[in-house]
Amino acid sequence: MGVAVHLELYPERFDSAEGRHVGMLLKAFAQLRMHDALRLLATPALERVMTLCQEGRLREEPLESVGTLCMGLLPLARSPQLQRHRVRALQTFDALKPVVEHKIDAYLRQAPGGAGARAGLRLKEGDEACGTRCPALSLYQVLKAYSVVAHQWKPRYISGERESVKTHQETLKQWVRQTLDRTRPLIETDLQEKSWNLIAQIEADDAILDALDLRLASAAHLEALTTRYPPRRFDLAARHESLRTAVGNVVPPEPSGGDTTHVTVDLRGRELEPAASSDGAEPAYSFYSRLTGQPLVEVRLPGELSAFMLARTFQYKDEPWRFDMFGGSRLTRGRRKSARDIAAGRSASASVLPAVRYADSAPGSAFMELAQKLAPQREDWSRMQRALMEMVPPDHVVEGTLRLGWFEDVPGRSTPSGFKGHTTSASRSVQMTAAGF
């Protein structure tokens, strides 16, 4: 933070800064999520990059440095905490686009298929520097930045005729898609599943919430995913049968039945709250673990939920996981304090969402068979956290088969059902096998 304060006091230091210097500085603060530092440096940094673009001073910067610069500028175009700088950041990205475009074209001509990786930063086409030591990463950074810029290029932020703004937005999206088509083999070969989030979001376009499912619709991607990470198997019919009892004869769960290994992670897959059972505590019961035998992993959200946050996977135990399948009350708990929070004098608990292995959401998997039975409609997304993944002490649970009845309204207080004080008569009944708590 001291560096940011110093540069705020002496903004003339940016007058001699090269593009790579600005990129490295902003990217470092961005990775540390130091929005206060970025807020101090945003104006002089954006002005310097704009000047370098206008004076043609970025021709000597390699593609690698331009990729770093794009990642450093990205929070200024996307972060809600830096929204006052968004318009200028989008304009700067637009001025930078011809430079980026020329360097990518030059690299692909000079090093088709990534053959120029050995030349590294020395690779040039005439006087245009276009080298990079990691071509897939540099291309990924550029595409990631400009996919966000294309999404943010709206009349809300850009002045001018509405149709003109929309047309330019479509031009940006088309360029991002075309660049992805030209560089996809290089990116996928090098970065593999790390590139899936970006490619899925670009291909989904405006249907951003469907990005991960659209990716699974690709036969090639589905085969690659399930080959590397086979979906977990469990016999749902056998689990359901084990819950059956004589009608009305509910019983406690079997020993260890429904025991939950509950872990909370962040968006980088780092464990924040290991399973309570690892400390010797009695594991809680969840219907999810009872049916699937799988651990319950929840993601702690770093801030306000967004479509781009949901349309991505994260790595946990060297596997991609997704957290857009289920929601519920725990999603909104970060917006308000509970009675315990108030009594303890602490801030509201962070919002969390359940996560599942990306491979387990492949069509035809055992998990998707369960999800289709319990949550067939999109609106069921908000109910499944409480219905399936609630955790309670095991001695608060009974399992078994119950009989439910539907009753039609009849006049008077006397009913054939035998219930006193109810104006209903039995119409039909069904049996239901479930766990209750």
Interval 201-243: pLDDT, tens: 676 666 666 778 877 887 888 888 899 899 999 888 888 888 8
Confidence of residue 381 (pLDDT cuts 50, 70, 90): low
Look at residue 422 in the predicted model and tell me its pLDDT: 45
Tell me the mean pLDDT in the region 260-280.
Answer: 75
Over 80: is that where the pLDDT of 283 sits?
yes
Tell me the mean pLDDT in the region 95-123.
Answer: 80
Looking at every residue in the chain, the average pLDDT score rounds to: 81
Highest mean pLDDT among 179-188, 385-394, 409-418: 179-188
Question: According to DSSP H, which parts of 332-435 are helical?
Answer: 339-344, 366-374, 384-388
- What values do phi and psi take at 398, rounded to 5? -130, 150
- CB atoms near residue 189 (< 10 Å): 12
Look at residue 101 in the predicted model and tell me its pLDDT: 93
Question: What residues make up the domain containing 412?
Answer: 398-436
Better-scored residue on pLDDT, 370 or 230: 230
Better-scored residue on pLDDT, 59 or 202: 59
Whether residues 73 and 118 fall in one domain? yes
Highest mean pLDDT among 88-97, 194-203, 384-393: 88-97
Beta-carbon contacts of 425 under 8 Å, excluding residues fewer than 6 positions away, are 407, 408, 410, 415, 416, 417
* Geometric angle at alpha carbon 382, from 376 and 383, rounded to 5°: 70
Q: Please tell me the least confidently modeled range out of 75-84, 190-199, 420-429.
A: 420-429
Whether residues 104 and 240 fall in one domain? no
User: How far from chain centre, in Å, is Cα 394?
Assistant: 32
- Amino acid identity of residue 165, one-letter, is V
Whether residues 355 and 413 fall in one domain? no
Tell me the mean pLDDT in the region 26-40.
Answer: 86
Look at residue 251 in the predicted model and tell me its pLDDT: 87
Look at residue 423 in the predicted model and tell me its pLDDT: 42
Interval 115-170: pLDDT, tens: 555 667 788 888 888 888 888 888 989 998 999 999 899 998 888 889 999 999 99
Both tokens of residue 68?
């770093």
Rg of the chain taking only CA atoms, in angstroms: 27
Confidence of residue 69 (pLDDT cuts 50, 70, 90): very high
> How far is residue 23's CA from residue 142's CA, in Å, rounded to a whole number?
13
Look at residue 12 in the predicted model and tell me its pLDDT: 84
Q: Please tell me the least confidently modeled range out of 12-16, 357-361, 425-429.
A: 425-429
For residue 283, being part of any structural domain is answered with yes
> How far is residue 29's CA from residue 9's CA, in Å, rounded to a whole number?
18
Whether residues 6 and 52 fall in one domain? yes
Sign of CA dihedral 84, 87, 89, 90: positive
Number of domains making up the chain: 3
Better-scored residue on pLDDT, 423 or 345: 345
- Amino acid identity of residue 408, one-letter, is E
For residue 157, being part of any structural domain is answered with yes
Over 60: is that where the pLDDT of 114 sits?
no
The DSSP line for 150-209 is: HHH-STTTS-S-HHHHHHHHHHHHHHHHHHHHHHHHHHHHHHGGGGHHHHHHHHHTT-GG
Whether residues 30 and 47 fall in one domain? yes
For residue 249, being part of any structural domain is answered with no
Highest mean pLDDT among 101-105, 245-249, 322-326, 387-391: 101-105
Over 50: is that where the pLDDT of 424 sits?
no
Over 50: is that where the pLDDT of 427 sits?
no
For residue 230, being part of any structural domain is answered with no
Whether residues 124 and 10 fall in one domain? yes
Q: Please tell me the least confidently modeled range out of 125-134, 176-185, 272-281.
A: 272-281
Confidence of residue 429 (pLDDT cuts 50, 70, 90): very low
Whether residues 323 and 181 fall in one domain? no
- The beta strand positions in 102-167, using DSSP E, are 124-125, 128-129
Whether residues 268 and 364 fall in one domain? yes
For residue 290, being part of any structural domain is answered with yes
For residue 226, being part of any structural domain is answered with no
Look at residue 416 in the predicted model and tell me its pLDDT: 55
Whether residues 383 and 421 fall in one domain? no
For residue 182, being part of any structural domain is answered with yes
Whether pTM exceeds 0.75: no
> Residues of the chain with pLDDT > 90: what percent?
20
For residue 374, being part of any structural domain is answered with yes
Confidence of residue 192 (pLDDT cuts 50, 70, 90): low
Whether residues 59 and 197 fall in one domain? yes
Whether residues 179 and 308 fall in one domain? no
Whether residues 276 and 179 fall in one domain? no
